[in-house]
Structure 1
């Protein structure tokens, strides 16, 4: 994991496109005090409202909270929010702009799609002038067909104060940005140093295969150590190490309940001579779905699901741990396996393809994953309450940033900001 650092209680953050709160939780865990959340989805707002004071967009301007005070939640369209009042108060601006324009699962219209949230993120940067920006999005942004626009996104974040003129195309604006970056004629206070990182959440301790891209930017006048930041966000977990732990028996020692025949099937599928590294280079093993259900980082094991119905009951005192009937598997719709990281949790607004929400049990039967199991796969804490019916809760989780993944990047931001601002 990224190195942890005690940051000043005065460090602050703002979270846009906050959704169910995954990235917001990660940034707060890294030591940043939230000044504002913004979200438009009604159910996600209900989830966030248990820790924030709710205000309607277009109503009164929320106050800037002091230490120990509940942050405000602006509920509504980001296009109607004025962020000028936060200028000079924000260390980190974080958010996951809507990804449907770039998702492989969507219509992939990119810049032409009016759901593209990046222009609104950049306006917030201009109005707040944060020290750092953290954006998370789908890996589809890196597809060859989107590469020119992705490069433009990074240049636009580099020079957020150079606004696109009305009526001009993004390509016209990109030419202006290219020229300014080449001539280096912009005040460092109005220019950002931008980096991007393709990631698989499993490589950061999340029990899920989830390929995403992080875009991180620092205001140039801060002179952040780029090499140091890249070192802090390097992956610390690997599939090869998981295989090594299975071969040497340490994985199975953590799970003595696994039947011998199940263990045999798993071992028959993995390389029996994985690439071994020196102790100094050895990574931690990927965490599996079985690890998540049993509990990671001090969590209590989830009790087994013994009945499948749609009635509200919470097993062992865990909320949202409810067996859901009618799961199916068939070619192209295969279930999650316990001894692998889970498949990517998807929002599934129009139904989840591929079996991502189905779980294969040791006895050969299968069922839908509970909301609580899915939340664990997203590394949400067990006491985080999601609002709405099951489908809405699963959608919030599918749209979220895994908390542990976001925390690695937010903690690294905290570290390099603290180091850059120490007296020299």
Structure 2
């Protein structure tokens, strides 16, 4: 997949950012493509840090000159975000962004939520207090909306709205939540210490990602910017449009293939005016088939066959002509057959890492470090680049007409 041309490719960009919980770089790359110059990226996992260094990052040191251009490497801190002091970047950051670790809330995890030591929302709030950004862009899994987590989710949103009403040591979060609610109702407050918060559950397929992937986005703008009327981007793609294209034959003609013999009769439909959902076939177009198991293709990075694909009840392959199932953080052992595709001849095989990266909308030159399992884990934990870019560009558009810190050091 080619990386889109953006106005941000050269020069200082349109704003600055700090990236938390950077992982394999999906949201960080999306923010960069939208024009945000990363002043810092923070990541704990060793292999993910190796991936970042292999592409756009270098280790941060106190004497390292802060990036002045989007061509500069991203300063990277490998380590626990809880040990990072962000006060040196106060007043220099337009956006704090991050895909907050999902394990405490994931439907595939143990659902410990706020009791899980991996709940790092408090660290995002601390970064906000210490840097005072104009905006915050955070992503998390759909599991955060489970009814059992709803009170804590609402607490998260209130804490982001009033991050300077800090929880004190020994204070129960319920008691802190009551203080936050009272503080938010107050009228005589400094607007630079309050944020207008919006949140939305989105399907990545509705924004041009060839994958059904439900995620929660939380976006906040500092109140003094006057952006309380900002709204999330509207979906650009639809399932109806895909069905329409397959019914009228345009989808099959685009790919130069005949419709499946068992296709249902075409039905009269009216287009909804959106672009069609992108499919697995769309995602992997132009990629040759893997040469063989364990054999790296000489012309394509991470395009190596992998043996052992199986199909059984509850573990069915991806259909080439539908968006992929949600790519998850695993190779074997993840339920549902998310990493398996059914080919045109009816046979099944595992996706290559490059094909999975295509489904996650990473560019073809993005190098993932580590063995296959670690590469797939990084992809499964990432924000799809295209989805992140849509959100980042909307945030950029909202604040670009106001005084950005671009060019500051």
Same fold by TM-score greater than 0.5: yes
Match of 1:411 in 2: 393
Choose the corresponding residue for 1:40, options 30, 41, 44: 44
Q: Please say if 1:398 is aligned against 2:383.
A: no
Q: CA separation in 2, counterparts of 1:320 and 1:209?
A: 23
Shift in Å, 1:264: 2.9
Indicate whether 1:188 and 2:188 are aligned.
no
Residue 249 of structure 2 is matched in structure 1 by 249
Confirm or deny: 8 A CA contact 2:67 2:73 kept in the other structure.
yes
Q: Which digits, 9 at most, give the CA deviation of each residue in 1:123-176, with x for residues without a partner?
A: 000001111110000011111111111110000001111110111111100000
Give 1:251 shift.
0.4
In the TM superposition, what is the alpha-carbon distance from 1:117 to its structure 2 partner? 1.1
Question: Residues of 1 paired with 2:27 and 2:336: CA distance?
Answer: 26
Distance 1:65 1:292, change over 3 A: same
Q: What is aligned with 1:12?
A: 16
Give the alignment of 1:312-351 within 5 angstroms: 313-315=296-298, 317-348=299-330, 351=333
Alpha-carbon offset, residue 353 of structure 1: 1.3
d(CA) in 2 for partners of 1:201, 1:69:
29
1:26 to 26, 30, 47: 30
**Equivalent-residue separation in structure 1 for 2:291 and 2:371 (angstroms):** 21
Matched, 1:117 2:102: no
Correspondence for 1:145: 148
Q: CA deviation at 1:11?
A: 1.2
Query: Alpha-carbon deviations, 1:334-353, whole Å to 9, x = none?
Result: 01010000000000277211
Picking from 133, 137, 159, the partner of 2:136 is 133
* Deviation readout 1:68-95 (Å, 9 max, x if unpaired): 4322100010111000000011111110
Structure 1 segments, 4+ long, off by >6 Å, are none
Deviation at 1:61, TM superposition (A): 7.0
Corresponding residue for residue 294 of structure 2: 310
Q: Which residue of the partner structure matches residue 297 of structure 1?
A: none
Cα deviation digits, residues 39-85 of structure 1 (max 9, x gap): 00000000001322214xxx757542222432210001011100000
Aligned counterparts, 1:264-413, within 5 A: 264-265=261-262, 267-268=263-264, 272-274=267-269, 276-277=270-271, 282-294=273-285, 301-307=286-292, 309-311=293-295, 313-315=296-298, 317-348=299-330, 351-413=333-395
Q: Which residue of 1 is the match for residue 53 of structure 2?
A: 49
Q: In 2, distance between residues paired with 1:41 and 1:416?
A: 33
Kindly indicate whether the alpha-carbon contact (under 8 Å) linking 1:223 and 1:420 is maintained by their aligned counterparts in 2: no
Give, in angstroms, the shift of residue 314 of structure 1: 1.6
Q: How many residues align?
A: 395
SS of corresponding position for 2:261: helix
Aligned 8 A contact 1:203 1:237 in 2? yes
Number of the residue aligned with 1:64? 66
What is the RMSD computed on CA atoms of the aligned residues? 1.9
Specify whether residues 111 and 225 from structure 1 end up closer, same or farther in structure 2 by C-alpha distance, changes over 3 A only.
closer
- 2:407 aligns with none
Partners of 1:5 and 1:411 within 8 A in 2: no
Matched residue, 2:166: 163
What is the distance in 2 between the residues matched to 1:75 and 1:61? 17
The two structures have a TM-score, normalised by structure 2, of 0.92
Q: Is the 8 A contact 1:155 1:174 kept in 2?
A: yes
CA drift at 1:272: 2.8
Q: Which of 345-354 and 234-243 deviates more? A: 345-354
Structure 2 CA distance, aligned partners of 1:36 and 1:19?
A: 13
Q: CA deviation at 1:182?
A: 1.5
Query: TM-score scaled to structure 1, two decimals?
Result: 0.89
- Cα shift at 1:97: 1.1
Q: How far, CA to CA, are the matches of 1:5 and 1:370 in structure 2?
A: 29
Q: For the structure 1 residues 306 and 11, does the alpha-carbon distance in structure 2 shift closer, same or farther, using more than 3 Å as the test?
A: same
After superposition, the C-alpha distances for 1:264-303 in whole angstroms (9 at most, x for unaligned) are 33x32x98344x25xxx51110000000011xxxxxx001
Q: CA–CA distance in 2 between the matches of 1:152 and 1:70?
A: 36
Offset of 1:225 from its aligned partner?
5.5
- 2:202, 2:106 → 1: CA distance? 15
